[in-house]
Every structure is written in C-alpha cells, then in structure tokens.
Amino acid sequence: MKNLFSQLPAIDSLLRDPALQSLIDDAGTAFATRQLRAMQQEARDCIQQHQRLPAWHANWPGEALRRSAQQSQSALRPVFNLTGTVLHTNLGRACLSDTAIAAVVASLRQPVTLEYALDDAARGHRDRAVAALLCELTGAEDACIVNNNAAAVLLMLATLAPGREVVVSRGELVEIGGAFRIPDVMRQAGCRLVEVGTTNRTHLKDYRAAITADSGLLMKVHTSNYQIQGFTHAVGEAELVTLGEEHQLPVITDLGSGSLIDMTAYGLPAEPMPQQLIAAGVSLVSFSGDKLLGGPQAGIIIGKKALIDQLQQHPLKRALRVDKMTLAALEATLQLYRHPEHLQDALPTLHQLTRPATDIRQQAERLLPALDKVFGDDFSLAIAACSSQIGSGSLPVERLPSFAITFSPRDGQSGTLNALAQRWRALPQPVIGRFSAGKLWLDLRCLDDETALMRNLLP
Ligand SMILES: *Cc1c(COP(=O)(O)O)cnc(C)c1O
C-alpha cells in the first residue's frame, strides 16, 4: 500500500506538465491546484479503501482537464425541449423573440434611461414605458410590473386589503406548482380569506352574503391548471363588478396566463384576455409575462390608475420590482403585439403553439431515416401521433395534435431506454424527451433547428 501512495504524482510537477498549461492559462493556477488536490485526495481514499490506484491514474492531466471542463459548464445549459410541453416551467417557459433578446443585450451594454426622463431630466418611473404600451394594448389606465405573477398577487393583496377580508369562490382556491396557493398568499399578505359558494357552484348571492364592514376586496382567480366540469356555476367579472360598486369594493382578478390576443383566431383554445376584464370594469388584473404572452418572467398588473399608484408606492414594490433586462425584454415583446399579423412569425411561443401537425409530421419523416441508421440496431423507431401541451398551467385540458419519433428498445428492457435518455441528457446540448408506454418520445413541436439536433445526436 505504501508503494501505491508513493506512485501519486506531486502537485508541483503536475503544474509544470505542458499538458496542463492550457488549463492554467484559462482557469488560473489556484483553480488548477484545487482540482489536482481534490484528485490526489480521491486517489488516497481509493488506495485506503480498495488497495488500488484509481482508473484515471494513467492520465492525470487528461482527467484534470475533463473535470475542469465539466465544472465550467453553465448550470443554465441550452437544451432541446422535445418533451411536448411548450411552456415548460423547468426548462424556463417562453423562448423570447429576437427583438426582445436584442433589447436585453442593448440594455446591458450601455447605461439606459431606466428611471430617467430625458425631457425634463427628472427622475422617471421605471415601469412607465411598459405601462404606456400595456395601456395602449389593453385599454387599462395604468400598469405595474413585478418579478412574477405570484409577486403581483401578493402586492395587490398586501396593498389593497391588509388586515381585511378578501372574498373568493371555493371553486377558485388554486394551487399552482411550486407552492403558490391562494390561501397561503392571502396569509402572507396579511389578508383574511373568506371562502364562498361550493367547489362546483358559486352564485352572486354567496358573494353578497359574505360582504361585511371588514371586507376589503372581491377576488377572482382563473382556474388555469384545472377545470370544474358538469353541474357548475361561476360568477362572471362584470356581475361581480356591479356588486363591488354597490359596496365600494374593488374587484381584482388573478388571470395566471392571460393572452393579449384572441387564441381562437389561431385555432387554439380560448383563453380569457386581460383587456376583456378591464372592459368589464375589473379594478386590477394580474398575469404572467412568460406564459402565453411569450416574454420574460414578470408579473404584470393592469387597471385603475388610483390603485396602481398605491401599488407603486407600497414598500413591497421596491422588493418585488424588476430589473432593466426584464423591462427591456417585456417592452420589446409588447411592441410585437402592435402588429398582430406578424406575431406568429415574431413570437416563438405563438409559432410553436400554432405549428400545424402536418408540418411536424413532415419534419419527423425527414429526420427518421438518419436516426434509424444510428439507433435502429438497438431500438425500433417509428413516427407516432401525439398531443403536445401548452404547459405552465395554461389551458390544461386542451391538447395540441402533434407528431413524435418514438424509440422502443428491441430487448424490451426499460434499462436500455433509460440508458438512451441518460446518454441524450449528457450531450453537449442535452435532448429532453418524454417516457410513455415503454417508449421514449421526441415530440418535434418545439424543434426549430433540426440540423443542430442531428449534429448533436448523430456520431
Ligand atoms: C401561473 C399562475 C400564477 C403564478 O404565476 P408566476 O408567474 O409563475 O409566478 C398565479 N396564479 C395563476 C392563476 C397562475 O396560472
């Protein structure tokens, strides 16, 4: 064993090894030294426990380079999203338009007029440009931008009804993945939740009966990730606004996704539009920037000027506000909505959601032969109809007809399939598919650059 220890190379001599000079140049001596020390410790442990040298002992510089390359990979690696879920929360939701990306880059390179009005050189308001666009697009009086829609709901509640009662239908006590639950947000905001109606049916009289001197708000929550079907009744915003006016209570709506365009015009299932709720008289409407809007992560609140002013002045706004990158991306994204006829080309999310199934099938037919050549020995490949999902809780029930290339292991072993998925996750640009019915499915709906995918997948 002593003999084995004496075979370990000295750090000093390794640092002088020409094979490691590129690592030292790129990452610095301190990093290279730490890397080699960790390897030395690992080798000592290996000798202690197994009375042998580690397999990589034959090539210390090679192993050090391999480890360093692995460690300097970004934790935010670009992947091919072939899961079939377009707005995949774990993969970063919306992919932004080229103009939004350019706007972000420009905002980072130079100083920008973030809170600086050029006309009178006074301090401006950071949401003002985006607010003006939102007012133009939705008919709202003003807008406020925060970190995400969860923050938007928190800010609306904490500002408008601290210590007071907020009336919500029992059918709308939503939980969104990642611990956003209406009763919990209520508590955090210092409001008291008053549930009315039943799971499937809530009437105007239920809201009316719940109003007391302590009421602060009437709230609607869009049930974005589930649907209640059958014997149901919900109170529409317009009716609720009339009731609110009788009692001088604002009505607010957490819309979740919210689409500024009529989705049905693109052959997609209907989704409530913020501008419809503004027209119905709702005081404040909140929705996400990175769901159907196709922009950056943000929470957008639009509505009555007097209430938006209160949000802007609340101390929480400072904690929840967005940075210049988000504002730049959001402004550029919203500008695209001025030209609805170009939107399908300019906005990747809408492009992906509206790709015709025939288009996707043709793409699968183009890619199948080359893939079959490489994977055909171990897997049986086929083109199969499937359903993509919009994702992020949007329109959960409706599915989009799509096509996938499926891989079934010829040996019938799930281990073989798992090994394939694992190999794809280890690629320079990982390929993420979906398991179903003993097969690995690559839903091609979100595949833009098929050349890049093939370069990546084929040896
Ligand atoms: C998605 C969603 C949220 C949370 O929005 P984030 O932007 O993810 O914070 C809140 N409420 C509803 C109804 C939603 O659909």
CA distance 192 to 188: 10
pTM of this prediction?
0.92
CB distance 148 to ligand 1 below 6 Å: yes
Residue 397 has a pLDDT of 62
Q: Ligand 1: does its nearest atom lie under 6 Å from the Cβ of 180?
A: yes
Average pLDDT over residues 57-68: 94
Quick check: CB of 182 below 6 Å from ligand 1?
A: no
Residues forming beta bridges with residue 275, ordered by sequence position: none
* pLDDT of amino acid 72: 85
pLDDT one-digit tens code per residue, 435-448:
999 999 999 999 99
**pLDDT of the residue at 270:** 87
Considering only 83-97, 108-122, 169-183, which range has the smallest mean pLDDT?
108-122
Specify the residue with its C-alpha closest to ligand 1, atom 12: 256
Ligand 1 contacts CB of residue 363 (under 6 A)? no
pLDDT at residue number 253: 98
Look at residues 34, 49, 67 and name the one whose alpha carbon lies nearest to residue 4.
49
* β-pair partners for 297: none
| Stretch 337-352: mean pLDDT | 95
- Choice between 115 and 250, residue whose per-residue pLDDT is larger: 250
For the chain, percent of residues with pLDDT exceeding 90: 88
Q: How confident is the model at residue 125 (pLDDT cuts 50, 70, 90)?
A: confident
Is the per-residue pLDDT at 398 higher than 80? no
In the numeric block, which tokens belong to residue 381? 């490949």
Mean pLDDT of the chain: 94
**Cα–Cα distance between 411 and 377 in angstroms, integer?**
10
Residue 347 has a pLDDT of: 97
At 36, the pLDDT band (50, 70, 90 cuts) reads very high
Task: Give the pLDDT of residue 227.
Answer: 84
CA distance 329 to 144: 15
Q: Looking at residue 228, what is its pLDDT?
A: 87
How confident is the model over 2-28, as a mean pLDDT?
A: 92
* Closest residue by CA, ligand 1 atom 8: 149
Of 161-165, 257-261, 277-281, give the lowest mean pLDDT range. Answer: 257-261
Q: Whose CA is nearest to atom 13 of ligand 1?
A: 256
pLDDT score of 363: 98
Atom of ligand 1 nearest to the CA of 225: 15
- Asked whether 289 lines ligand 1 (CB < 6 A), one says no
| 290 Cα nearest atom in ligand 1 | 7
Position 396 confidence tier, pLDDT thresholds 50, 70, 90 = low
Asked whether 453 and 80 are in contact (CB, 8 A), the reply is yes
Measure 173 CA to ligand 1 centroid, in angstroms.
13
E strands within 366-450? 379-388, 400-409, 431-432, 434-436, 439-443
Residue 435: per-residue pLDDT? 95
Mutate to test the pocket of ligand 1, among 288, 320, 322, 394 (most ligand atoms within 8 A of CB): 288
Ligand 1 touching residue 393 (CB < 6 A): yes
Does the pLDDT at position 44 exceed 70? yes
- Asked if residue 391 has its Cβ within 6 Å of ligand 1, the reply is no
Tokens representing 135?
């007012």
User: What band does 394 get if pLDDT is binned at 50, 70 and 90?
Assistant: low
Q: What is the pLDDT of residues 285-310, one digit of tens each?
A: 999 999 999 999 999 999 999 999 99
Fill in the DSSP letter of residue 391: B
3-class secondary-structure state, position 91 = helix
301 pocket-lining for ligand 1 (C-beta < 6 Å): no
